[in-house]
Amino acid sequence: MMETAGRRRNMRLVVNPITCEGHGLCAELLPEWVRLDDWGYPIVNPDPVPPELKDHARRAVAACPTLALLVRLD
Q: Which residues bind other proteins (CB under 8 A)?
A: 15-22, 37-41, 43
- Range 50-69, binding ligand SF4 (CB under 6 A): 64-66, 68-69
Q: Which one of ligand SF4, other proteins, none interacts with residue 31, CB within 5 to 8 A by kind? A: none
CA gap 26, 63 in Å, rounded: 8
Q: Which of 21, 37, 47, 55 binds ligand SF4 (CB under 6 A)?
A: 21
Of residues 40, 59, 39, 41, the one with CA closest to residue 49: 59
* Segment interacting with ligand SF4 (CB under 6 A) among 5-13, 18-26, 49-57: 18-26
CA gap 53, 45 in Å, rounded: 12
Contact flag: residue 23 with ligand SF4 (CB under 6 A) = yes
CA gap 60, 63 in Å, rounded: 5
